Every structure is written in structure tokens, then in C-alpha cells.
């Protein structure tokens, strides 16, 4: 399992299976970051493109469990703020 964290304006840590990491890495151009690759492949706000890749790669219960766990943690820690206009 590969875990990568990217520094920059906003950062997110993602987990990939070795197979997914190799597939992603094989698509990188020289000098291109993984973030740039993902934006090039999927574009901004392209759920259909992301779904197509996930469908092509097939189910990954480990990733699904990780996403579900992270989603629960985010919802648990979510706080709203009252803003006066």
C-alpha cells in the first residue's frame, strides 16, 4: 500500500493499492506531479471521468472501507459557524 501526501495550498493524503499506484505512475509525464496528472486525466469537476476509471479498475473493498471511515470522521468533526450578514 502506498501513501502519499502532497504539500501546497490544500493537502490531502490518499492511499492507493500498489497496482493503482503503478497504473497512475505509468501515466505521469516527465516533471509532472501526481496532482497535475490527476487534473489532466480527470479535469476539474468531472465525476463521470472519475467514475469511468473506478469502473475500469474494479472494486476495491480496502479503499471503500477507508473512504467510509474517513467520511464518518469528517462528519463527526464537522462544525457549522453562524455568520451574520
Extents of the domains making up the chain: 2-77
Residues 16, 1 contacting (CB under 8 angstroms): yes
pLDDT in tens, the chain (85 residues): 555 444 445 667 778 888 888 888 898 999 998 888 888 887 666 677 777 877 887 777 887 788 888 888 888 877 777 777 7
Q: What grid cell was written down for 77?
A: 468533526
Amino acid at each position: 500500500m502506498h501513501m502519499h501526501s502532497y504539500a501546497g495550498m490544500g493537502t490531502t493524503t490518499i492511499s492507493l493499492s500498489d497496482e493503482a499506484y503503478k497504473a497512475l505512475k505509468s501515466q505521469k509525464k516527465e516533471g509532472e506531479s501526481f496532482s497535475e496528472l490527476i487534473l489532466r486525466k480527470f479535469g476539474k469537476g468531472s465525476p463521470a471521468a472519475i467514475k469511468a476509471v473506478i469502473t475500469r479498475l474494479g472494486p476495491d473493498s480496502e479503499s471503500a472501507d477507508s473512504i467510509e471511515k474517513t467520511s464518518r470522521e469528517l462528519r463527526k468533526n464537522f462544525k457549522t459557524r453562524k455568520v451574520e450578514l
